[in-house]
Amino acid sequence: MNRQGGPEPDFDLRALWERYGKRFRAGGIAIVVILIAAAIGLTTMLYTVGPEGDAVVKRFGRVVRIVGPGLHMKWPFGIESETFVPTRRVLKEEFGFRTLRAAQRSEYAKSDRDLEVSLMLTGDLNVIDVEWVVQYRIADPNKFLHQVRDPRETVRDISESAMRQSVGNRLGSDVLTVGRTAIATEVRESMQSILDSYEMGVEIRGVELQDVTPPDKVKPAFNEVNEAQQERERVINEAEKFRNQVIPKARGQAQQVIAEAEGYASVRINRAKGEASRFQAVFAEYSKAPEVTRTRMFLEMADEVIPKIGRLFVMEPGGISPLPLLDLDRAALKGGGR
């Protein structure tokens, strides 16, 4: 009976709770755990790859695939893991200096460690301070991650070794002046060859020498040497200029003298040939009629010579005065007045 005198109910809520509450509580906890596990699994299944590279996916530490940019899925709870590799970005390594702030007016710094890297010995035992930049791209992300322990330091070590070898094979003056382009090309080819032998999956895009100078302590001596070399080049250029002016002029004069001599020789030869031909023609006519030809030649000679000798007197043997047969004075005057 209850307090109101009525009959007791057929069930007891407290007993029901004691009987089924633990089951409900255990089931709720299980549902919550399942929901949490599902949420964790969902978050670990989805991942995004940025547009600047690819992701290397591993399953229990073994590479199973390489995926590109975008949203992707993987096995949850650490069964599969992804590692992002910036394959579409050109990476840069600086040697001998560090960029503090890249802007329109960039700021650079040089520490003792950078100085140790940049100081190099040339082939003529001069010390040169070389600063350079290496640009490279990751061509194979799987090889880049797993072929060597520290890919970045490996690239730096290879670059420094190749640069020291190239600088050590040249004179200091060549490194400071005309040899910079050749050094950059040689270092790039040497680095690419070594990286290919290591199978690192790295492609060298370029090597650029930023600044090549003598150390601060010896800069005055280098400046004096450079000034002397520039003065030598100036004197050599002036001598070459004078040479280029004098030699063509002398050659021109020589050609002129040779041409005049050849012309004079041609005139004399042609004149001699003409006189010889004339003599041969006269001789041929003379051979046909010797007396007539002799008389004609005598008269032609007399006509040419007599007017030039002035007064002419013809004396008859035994005579007292000139013969008045010819007016030779008038003829002489006419001949002299010609």
Nearest to 135 by CA among 89, 104, 99, 195: 89
Please count the other Cβ atoms lying within 10 Å of the Cβ belonging to residue 210: 14
* Range 223-249 burial, b when 16+ CB lie within 10 A, else e: eebeeeeeeeeeeeeeeeeeeeeeeee
Per residue in 31-51, pLDDT (tens digit) is 766 777 666 667 778 888 999
Q: Is the pLDDT of residue 122 over 60?
A: yes
Query: Contact 193/109 with Cβ under 8 angstroms?
Result: no
Which of 35, 206, 80 lies closest to 134, judged by CA? 206
Place of tokens 């020589």: 254
Alpha-carbon torsion (33, 37, 38, 43), positive or negative: positive
Statement: residue 224 has pLDDT above 60: yes
- pLDDT digits 0-9 by tens, 241-285: 998 989 998 989 999 999 999 999 999 999 998 888 888 887 787
Q: How far apart, in whole angstroms, are the C-alpha atoms of residue 238 and residue 134? A: 41
pLDDT in tens, 138-194: 999 999 999 999 999 999 999 999 999 999 999 888 888 888 999 999 999 999 999
